[in-house]
Amino acid sequence: MSDPTIESILQEKRRFSPPQSFSDQAYIRSEREYEQLYSKAAANPERFWGELAEQELHWFKKWDKVLDWRPPFAQWFVGGQINIAYNCLDRHLTTWRRNKAAIIWEGEPGDSRVLTYGELHREVCLMANALKELGVKKGDRVAIYLPMIPEAAIAMLACARIGAPHSVVFGGFSAEALRDRLVDAQAKVVITADGGFRKDKTIALKAQVDLALEHGAPSVEKVLVVERTQEEMTLKPGRDVLWRELKTQVGADCPAEPMESEDLLFILYTSGSTGKPKGVVHTTGGYNLYTHITTKWIFDLKDTDVYWCTADVGWITGHSYIVYGPLSNGATAVMYEGVPRPSNPGCFWDVIEKYGVNIFYTAPTAIRAFMRQGEALPQSRDLSSLRLLGTVGEPINPEAWMWYHRVIGQEKCPIVDTWWQTETGGIMITPLPGALGTKPGSCCRPFPGIVPEVVDLDGAPVTDDQGGYLVIKKPWPSMIRNVYGDPERFRRTYWEQIPPQDDQYVYFAGDGARQDEEGYFWVMGRVDDVISVAGHRLGTMEIESALVSHPLVVEAAVVGRPDEITGEAIFAFVVLDGSQSPSAELAQTLKEHVVQEIGAIARPGEIRFTDALPKTRSGKIMRRLLRSLAAGQEVSGDTSTLEDRTVLDKLRGGA
Ligand code: 7RM
């Protein structure tokens, strides 16, 4: 990846310093403080993490050893005993936070609920006792297949409380995807709901569970059903139990189980590029510490803040930054059941106004969708409570960053562009908002204790500003411990594609990146999203970014299409802003625009206009599907993660 074209990516020179008033009140107030922390962690990582673990968390028993690293297997806080639900709930109950709002929940139809720490604790204890009643013991896996209702967080915490690892399966997954995950984890109980609200309709969940179990998931003994939509469902006697009923039959006293630091906390499935989904394994102590401290420092989270992360709990972002990180800090977190939809395109701004949200964390795909709707909507709402913005999930193109900064942040909110993965458990590369200046499109610098590097295929570091592969060189507390039931796949996928350097194993993230002369990282996307045109390697992201920098373009996805002459040709799917309709002239203009921005080598061979792009529920463009479409092939393989199936039909029809 040393072709000159790739170095042209994002020649973004703008830089934004944190407002002084923000820095003055922040946990980490200056670049100097950041550098001191970073050096301290680098000089003695075990001491750094050990001190934080002692200061920030409650332990039933202190660890004997901070880190036991037998590459690629790590153990953190070995011998320590801890319970993450205790850290998220019980320890706040002896303070004034007992009556503080823990979760402010807004339902899609407009209903709402507020749970204080005291109330949340009670609900969690009830559900924990209900699980015990259903035969769940420490170590048994519980699947959670729920919509975005407080019971999703309650169920996770209830499992954690009794030491039953959870596997949250996103509510949009089909029966078949659910069954695969139940089988892989050998789940004993499923917690689900009758249905959930999504885009003004209800989707049946219990019926999907029934189907999944019919098709065979013999490990499942009981199904606990939460009522949300009141839609019809059938309950199988002896197997299915209503939460509303069981809740009245159990007590509210349930002490948190002391867990070994390395006990399994949860499995979260993430789709691999091929084959069946991987069960990413996270354990207790290190995950608790890392999500706690990153939430605190990166979101600069204070007791007075109202914090909102728009992710779904079925995604790692929901685990780490709706549930565990914020609650461990005693924060007030908003949880929203809805998504922006035609009937309510401004719903996010309504929620911010209604609850006075101070910290707002969302995905670039959402920001680009808002850009398309124009500024009038957010400007008609009071967003003045906002003091910090965040993004996650994809590289954010500078245009979207600037729009977010100007229209939503009203030029006063720092933006934290946070790079991380399901496998990393927590945010790895990010601005610390009071300390570091930001550059639109860059996820900035590593969190203290994190040692990323950009290397070539042999594992050798590339020089400043060259593209390469992103690796992490040192273990960190919330790192993936294994692929559930498949240590060989774990080794192969993450630790062997880039060979160890001087016997040091490095974690390979699967992303391409470059680091500029100031040490800022620019993540270019998955390395499998690279196109090779006549031997020149081009990141799809840079071409997309060039397209989106044209005023009429809101979103673009670029893929390679097999080409007899050049190997691959560039095929661009483009979403327009709505002010102009597609035309051959416009396609021509956009091709020229890319040439202007990057060079002739990046000229798209074909542009197809479309209303929408196929995305996963977490907002990632499914390029694999677009590659098939561009090549004129049938779309094959797993489409279970697709957010909106109709998009694919429209694209096939050549919209
Ligand atoms: C949290 C999450 C991980 C992949 C990762 C990247 C991409 C995420 C950013 C980003 C550029 C970012 N977990 N990614 N955040 N790329 N800048 N700030 O998304 O497991 O679902 O996905 O997402 O490619 O490898 S995930």
CATH number of the domain that residue 642 is part of: 3.30.300.30
Query: Measured from the CA of 422, which atom of ligand 1 is nearest?
Result: 20
How far lies 339's CA from each of 201, 219, 245, in Å? Answer: 12, 34, 30
Strand 468-472 to 452-455 pairing: antiparallel
Q: 């074209």: which residue's tokens?
A: 5
- Name the pTM for this structure: 0.89
Compute φ and ψ for 452, nearest 5 degrees. Answer: -85, 160
Beta carbons within 10 angstroms of residue 369's beta carbon:
18
**Alpha-carbon gap, residue 513 to 515, rounded angstroms:** 7
Q: Residue 514's beta-bridge partner residues? A: 522
| Residue identifier of the C-alpha nearest atom 18 of ligand 1 | 419
Which of 280, 420, 454 for mutating ligand 1's site (highest number of atoms within 8 Å of CB)? 420
Would you say residue 499 lies in a domain?
A: no
Please check whether residue 507 lies inside any domain of the structure. Answer: no
Is residue 227 located within the same domain as residue 290? no
List, in sequence order, every residue forming a beta bridge with 105; answer none if it has no partner. 113, 335
pLDDT score recorded for residue 529:
74
The answer on pLDDT for 14 being more than 60 is yes
Structural domain total, the chain: 3
Model pLDDT, residue 243: 98
Instruction: Output the CA 394–ligand 1 centroid distance in Å.
Output: 5
List residues bridging with 455 in a β-sheet: 461, 469
Q: Which residue has the tokens 């007791």?
A: 303
- 506 φψ region: left (φ > 0), alpha (ψ -120 to 50), beta (else): beta
Asked if residue 396 has pLDDT above 70, the reply is: yes
Residue 243 structural domain: 84-257
Which atom of ligand 1 is least distant from the CA of 423?
A: 20
Ligand 1 mean position, distance from CA 96 (Å): 37
Task: Say if 41 falls within a structural domain.
Answer: yes
**Could you identify the atom of ligand 1 that is nearest to the CA of residue 429?**
18
More confident residue, 587 or 531: 587
Tens of pLDDT, residues 608-637:
999 889 888 777 888 888 988 898 887 766
Are 321 and 425 found together in one domain?
A: yes
* Residue 517, helix vs strand vs coil: coil
- 523 C-alpha vs ligand 1 centroid, how far in Å? 9
- Say if residue 382 is in the same domain as residue 315: yes
Q: Whose CA is nearest to atom 7 of ligand 1?
A: 394
Instruction: Give me the pLDDT at residue 18, please.
Output: 96
| 281 touches 481 (CB < 8 A) | yes
Residue 277 preceded by cis peptide, ω within 30:
no
Q: Are 166 and 247 contained in the same domain?
A: yes
Q: Higher confidence at residue 26 or residue 597?
A: 26
In the predicted model, is pLDDT for residue 273 greater than 70? no
Q: 125 and 51: one domain?
A: no
CATH number of residue 168's parent domain: 3.40.50.12780
Q: Identify whether 546 is part of a domain.
A: yes
Residue 580: pLDDT above 60?
A: yes
Ligand 1 centre to CA of 72 (Å) is 22
Q: Which long-range contacts (CB under 8 A, 24 or more apart) does 31-37 make?
A: 31/435, 31/436, 31/437, 33/435, 34/432, 34/435, 34/436, 34/445, 34/448, 37/448
Tell me how far apart the alpha carbons of residues 388 and 477 are, in angstroms, rounded to a whole number. 26
Supply the pLDDT for residue 272: 63
Residue 520 in any domain: the answer is no
In this structure, are 198 and 212 located in the same domain? Answer: yes
pLDDT in tens, 419-456: 999 999 999 999 999 999 999 999 999 999 999 999 99
Both 449 and 368 in a single domain?
Answer: yes
100 and 240 within one domain? yes
Residue 274: pLDDT above 70? no
Measured torsion, CA atoms of residues 598, 603, 604, 606, in degrees rounded to the nearest 10: 150
Dihedral (CA of 478, 336, 57, 21) sign: positive
Indicate whether 277 pLDDT > 90. Answer: no
My answer on whether 547 and 612 are in the same domain is yes
User: Of ligand 1's atoms, which has the minimum distance to the CA of residue 391?
Assistant: 18
Would you say residue 267 lies in a domain?
no
| Phi (first) and psi of residue 284, to 5 degrees | -85, -65
Distance of CA 443 to the CA centre of its chain: 14
CA–CA distance, 618 with 196 (Å, rounded to integer): 17
Mean pLDDT is lowest, of 106-115, 219-228, 499-508, 537-546, for 537-546
| Last residue of one domain, picked from the residues 472, 492, 507 | 472
Q: Are residues 447 and 537 in the same domain?
A: no
- With H, G, I as helix, E, B as strand and everything else as coil, classify residue 286: helix
Q: Which atom of ligand 1 is nearest to the CA of 395?
A: 11
Residue of the nearest CA to atom 22 in ligand 1? 421
Q: Which residue's CA is minimally distant from atom 13 of ligand 1? A: 421
* Residue 653, pLDDT score: 65
- Ligand 1 atom at minimum distance from 417 CA: 18
Residue 202: CB atoms within 10 A of its CB come to 17
Which run of H or of E encompasses 592?
A: helix 584-597
- Helix 584-597 to helix 540-548 angle (10° resolution) is 120
Look up residue 605 and give its two tokens: 């061979």
Is the domain of 647 the same as that of 634? yes
At CA 492, angle to CA 491 and CA 494, rounded to 5?
A: 70
**Does 269 map to a domain?**
no
* CA distance to 373, 512, 547, per residue, from 554 (Å): 10, 24, 9
Q: Is the dihedral of CA 365, 469, 528, 427 positive or negative?
A: negative
pLDDT score recorded for residue 2: 38
The minimum-distance atom of ligand 1 relative to the CA of 430 is: 18
Instruction: Tell me the pLDDT of the chain averaged across its residues.
Output: 92
Burial class of residue 320, CB neighbours in 10 A (0-12, 13-18, 19+): buried
| Residues 420 and 304 grouped into a single domain | yes
Asked if the structure places residue 545 within a domain, the reply is: yes
Closest residue by Cα to atom 10, ligand 1, is 394
Ligand 1, atom 3: nearest CA belongs to which residue? Answer: 421
Choosing from 472, 493, 511, the residue where a domain stops is: 472
Q: Which of 434, 452, 472 is the last residue of a domain?
A: 472
Ligand 1: residue whose CA is nearest its atom 1: 421
Of 281, 394, 508, the residue with max ligand 1 atoms within 8 A of its CB, to mutate for a pocket test, comes to: 394
**Which residues have any ligand 1 atom within 6 Å of their CB?**
270, 316-317, 392-395, 417-422, 443, 509-511, 523, 525-526, 618
